[in-house]
Amino acid sequence: MNEAREIYAGQRLAKTIGYIWAFIVAMFIDPGLNALAAEVNPAEAPSMSDPTVNQVFEAARAGHVDQARQMMNQVLANHPHSARAHYMAAQIDADLRNFGEARDELKTAEQIDPGLPFANAQAVAALRKQIALGGAEAAGPVRGSASNPGLVEELPVTAQADVLKRQIAEAIKTNRDQDALASLDQYHQLEKKGAQIPPLILFIEAQVAKKSGDPWRAYGALTAFLKVAHESDNHYQDAIAMYSELSANPAVKAQIAARAEAERRRQQ
């Protein structure tokens, strides 16, 4: 389980680094509000009191994101119709995890300059995903369309899977087994939309189910794991050992016998 946690922590860190890198790329692709804004729209010409993009960038790079946002507030006050200013504010808000504000700033930037032609397309896409995933996480665990019909289910399947992986990892980290199993249930629902459940997810499900006192679910997850995993895969030998243990569990044996009997009667 510790290794599984480390894998998910590493994935989360990699995504965060990716978002920050997209922010840096966008800043370098856009040499600055001052020069480019003046070229495209005279109304965005810099004020003497404006912080420079380098100052904003240095503050963000040094980890002073709150200070960078304050600088952007000053720029926005002087240039409320600058698409670049609102776009940069969206990036900073996203890094501050103020996803609602980031979404609003990005929307304003697109209303002012549709398509954001001044920005790197990959950076824009990364920002959209960061806002969507962050907003979905803030909304809490996915509970299905009846009670949470909004943000998460509007995401692409791969993005929904990313949200659920994070929820599973966070639940395991804080020993909330039932929340982890609920998120795993939602992950299985994605199979109906064409998603494939990674072997590691199945192995984690087996471990969590076994720990929470549901040997039958653990047995089923391991059965699914062994159908798709290879002997060289991580956790394969652990899965074999756990499968043997669960196969001898009285509750599991009773379930297997009951299903076999039901199948026999069905075929009569």
pTM of the model: 0.47
Per-domain residue ranges of the chain:
2-138, 197-267
Q: Give yes or no for residue 254 having a pLDDT over 70.
A: yes
DSSP run (H or E) holding 160: helix 157-173
The residue among 7, 27, 52 whose CA lies nearest residue 173 is 7
More confident call, 70 vs 137: 70
Give domain 2-138's CATH architecture. Answer: Alpha Horseshoe (1.25)
Q: Give yes or no for residue 73 having a pLDDT over 60.
A: yes
The residue among 23, 173, 176, 152 whose CA lies nearest residue 94 is 23
CB contact at 8 A, 153 and 160: yes
Alpha-carbon gap, residue 62 to 181, rounded angstroms: 39
Q: Give yes or no for residue 83 having a pLDDT over 60.
A: yes
pLDDT of residue 11: 45
Residue 119 makes CB contacts below 8 A (sequence gap 6+) with 26, 29, 30, 84, 87
Q: Give yes or no for residue 101 having a pLDDT over 70.
A: yes
pLDDT tens, 171-187? 888 888 888 898 899 88
Mean pLDDT of the 98-117 span: 89
Q: Give yes or no for residue 118 having a pLDDT over 50.
A: yes
pLDDT of residue 261: 85
